[in-house]
Chain A
Amino acid sequence: MTPERPMLIEARGISKQFGGVEVLSDVDLDLHVGEIHALLGENGAGKSTFAKILAGVHSPTRGTLKLNGQTVDVSSPIAAQKLGIALIHQEPVSFPDLSVAENIVMGRQGGGLLSRVPWATIIADAERYLDMLGVSLDVNRPMRGLSIANQQMVEIARSLASDSKLIIMDEPTAPLTPREVDTLFAIARRLREEGRTIIFISHRLEEVRMLCDRVTIFRDGAHISTQSIDSISDDEIIRLMIGRTLKKFMRKHVAEIGETALEVSNLTLPGLFEDVSFSLRRGEIIGLGGLVGAGRTDVARALFGVQPAASGRISIGGSDATIEKPTDAINLGLAFVPEDRAGHGIFATLPVEHNLTAAIPGKVAPRGFISRKVERSISQKAVSDLSVRLASLRQPIVELSGGNQQKVILARWLLTEPDILILDEPTRGIDIGVKAEFYDMIGDLAEAGRAILLISSELPELLSLCDRILVMSEGRVTAELPRGEATQENIMQAAVPRSGVAA
């Protein structure tokens, strides 16, 4: 403890398990009073989990937290608020129908349910806090309809109202315009001068460099390094973020690449992605890399007609295609294994069988009536082809493990005999053994002449499976790397938004 820079937070051995998987292991971190501290790391590196533990959203499985030298128990968001820790979400949680002023004070007032609401004080306080931030907002207007930037300002005003000493900003700048970012940074610096500590989570190195004093890098749930921002280069940061040992998985055969299956030009959906162009050939696996929120899933959804693009051209097998709804895409030979398996993939309580055949009604019911025999034989073949482990085809699919659920969803789409397969994070949340099976399957599919678009946040996965890798950043394709040239470094370089790229 240096005397001129007292400690605000001392975290020791913070670990967090979710259902047996350790997502954060033994993290030690010190935060000084009056510093802006960046947390950096790949998707899933544990930085957001750590932030949520500080803010009482999650409680750690192990480890201790000290605040101003005293051990504290941050058991809930309310407890965190009382201790002066505030978490500003990217898209803040608010009560849209209540006024700005009420959103600033809600949860802070004491008193019983029948005690009076001191409107005059509330409004005066709210105005004062917003004034401190240099924001002019009508505090009597409802939250609904406020811009994201202003909602964040209200959240920050909230943290001032509870006199927070530690303010955690989780990727606050992603939805903001450059001017709004400037305003936010000015405010952050002012808060630092007042002696408050800020944790700043961002993917944008440029912003981190502009704003922060120190930077901590997370990787695979572990604390890797904490350094002063002036003593570390961008390249060094990126190296530390990815530096995982590359357990390279090798495709058995690289498939023969055939004619063009899918060609996308200038696909645009304002706010999500812009000007995306690429072509995909039979037998080819194209990887789509980038950070969460880069627009990769949105491109996939647009291709499959879940949320069609506003402009741009899609051609399939050489002719122009109109895809307005998933049925159009299916008829054109597309298949899409979505990222959110529970929300968009499985019918949780329905039998495995019904999940398998959901996309091929014509095959199991040639004349509108389902033939149990046909369905059973199709299903049996599908589960044995992909070696799905299950007790019975009649079992509800939720009873299967994640990996086996995913196999069922993949099998559902293989049954449609697609020419083009879009796989969105197909191996997320799947254990290592099953992952290897998936890699084999994906390789085999390409070999069988299918065109595959693989979205993945795992760099080794992209590097070992793909013939080409496209990298997206903030809605645009920022790099196209052939198999031979792609490395973890140059993918990450293209994925992390930096000056010149983000503009």
Chain B
Amino acid sequence: MTDSAQSAIRELAPARPTWHVVLVRPETMTFLLLIFGLVGASFLSPFFLDASYILRSFTLTAEMSIVALVLTMVVISGEIDLSPAANMALSACIFAWAQEAGTPLPLAVIVGLLAGLAMGALNAFMSIRMQLPSIIVTIGTLIFYRGLAQVIAGDRSIRVPDSFIGINTIMIAGIPLPVVIFVGVAVLLGLVLGTTVVGRQIYQIGTNQAAALHAGINAKRIKVGLFLVLGVVSAAAGMMAASRLGSVRYDLVLGGELQMVLMAMLGGTYIFGGRGTILGTFLAAWLLVIVSTGMTVANLLPAIQLTVLGILLIVAIIATNFIYARTQR
């Protein structure tokens, strides 16, 4: 009660100028970093001035980037999911295993998607229905899904049929299909988040779930929906990866949850919910590609990228927290 009394005393603040609002946004930082990275990288190697080289590099992480877009919405709603990478692996394994066992290809794809849906449903059940913290729940499901993938595939790699291979070689107007899908999904989700009621309500739930309840917003239903969508999209991404790689192993995108969380955080999504944009994650996905290809071109060990990713994650969280603390008075 004293708190509300205290906040009531605050004087009416003058509006911040528009340039200030635009500039002090995490997405702006991401964008500047992206430009900076591109310029730096093109000094490192002229390859970077070649758009098709960058696009080809992007196909390597396009699947994860697509999932990260949906994950962004989950984080904005105030939850988190660390299991999508494991979901990708398990869905892909189930898909590959089903078609290997003779299921027609389209049916196998559907089986894979349903598996993803089921995994999303388990996450939703544990975190929303049983009200356990999603961050712990999805650590459990991350191990569980990855373990099941290992049970199905063992140590071998399951080949997928030739007709299914090569999504990354399909070009649409000179752009690899995975990149086109990524851009399409980004536009779609950007529209959902920015222009629809559901999008608006995702922000409201993440900002203050109790207030959302008092305003008649069904937070649980929206969150369950987000987990389900994330499950299905992860499954689709898993199968895209299978198509690109030509075979499936249980360790597909092992540790990928880190990169996906990183994309969201680097794009300015607030770890405690309520803030973030699809644009931010979109830019962050490109930034990561520039950084990792840059390191590859510079002949740095691929493994060093782990260090960089870890540092980036921590710095990104500290920076977004800092920016939000400054703008929230």
Q: Are A and B direct contacts in the complex by CB distance below 8 Å?
A: yes
**Chain B contact residues, majority secondary structure:** helix
Contact B214 A401 (CB under 8 A): no
Binds B, one of A17-25, A144-152, A312-320, A461-469: A17-25
The answer to the question of A354 belonging to the interface, with a C-beta cut-off of 8 Å to chain B, is: yes
Contact B10 A401 (CB under 8 A): yes
The answer to the question of A370 belonging to the interface, with a C-beta cut-off of 8 Å to chain B, is: yes
Complex Cα distance, B198 from A354, in Å, reads 13
Complex Cα distance, B9 from A399, in Å, reads 11
Contact B214 A347 (CB under 8 A): no
Option from B4, B196, B324, B327 in Cβ contact (under 8 Å) with A342: B4
Which positions 320-335 of chain A face chain B at CB distance < 8 Å? 325-327, 329-330
**Known contacts A342-B3, A349-B328; A392/B15 CB under 8 A:** yes
Option from B7, B13, B210 in Cβ contact (under 8 Å) with A344: B210
Complex Cα distance, B183 from A346, in Å, reads 34
Contact A327 B218 (CB under 8 A): yes
Q: Which residues of A lie under 8 Å from residue B195 when comparing CB positions?
A: 369-370
The answer to the question of A390 belonging to the interface, with a C-beta cut-off of 8 Å to chain B, is: yes
Option from A325, A347, A391, A395 in Cβ contact (under 8 Å) with B211: A347
Output the least CB separation between A411 and chain B (Å). 13
Closest to B328 in A: A349
Contact B7 A342 (CB under 8 A): yes
The answer to the question of B207 belonging to the interface, with a C-beta cut-off of 8 Å to chain A, is: yes
| Mask of B213-255 contacts with A, CB within 8 angstroms, 1/0 | 1111110000000000000000000000000000000000000
**Chain A contact residues, majority secondary structure:** loop
Interface residue tally on B, bucketed by range: 35 or more
Q: Which residues of A lie under 8 Å from residue B1 when comparing CB positions?
A: 44, 428
The answer to the question of B203 belonging to the interface, with a C-beta cut-off of 8 Å to chain A, is: yes
Contact A19 B196 (CB under 8 A): no
Closest to B21 in A: A394
Residue with the greatest number of chain B CB neighbours at <10 A, chosen from A349, A368, A392, A412: A349
Which positions 289-312 of chain B face chain A at CB distance < 8 Å? none
Output the least CB separation between B269 and chain A (Å). 13
Q: Which residues of A lie under 8 Å from residue B204 when comparing CB positions?
A: 347, 350, 354, 358
Output the least CB separation between B28 and chain A (Å). 17
Contact B15 A395 (CB under 8 A): yes
Q: Which residues of B lie under 8 Å from residue A429 when comparing CB positions?
A: 4-5, 7-8
| Mask of B308-329 contacts with A, CB within 8 angstroms, 1/0 | 0000000000000000100111
The answer to the question of A475 belonging to the interface, with a C-beta cut-off of 8 Å to chain B, is: no
Contact B196 A368 (CB under 8 A): yes
> Could you list 24 examples of A-B contacts with CB < 8 Å?
A18-B2, A18-B6, A19-B8, A23-B5, A304-B214, A326-B213, A329-B216, A341-B4, A342-B4, A343-B208, A348-B207, A349-B207, A349-B274, A349-B328, A350-B207, A354-B203, A359-B216, A368-B196, A398-B328, A401-B8, A401-B9, A402-B10, A429-B8, A430-B8
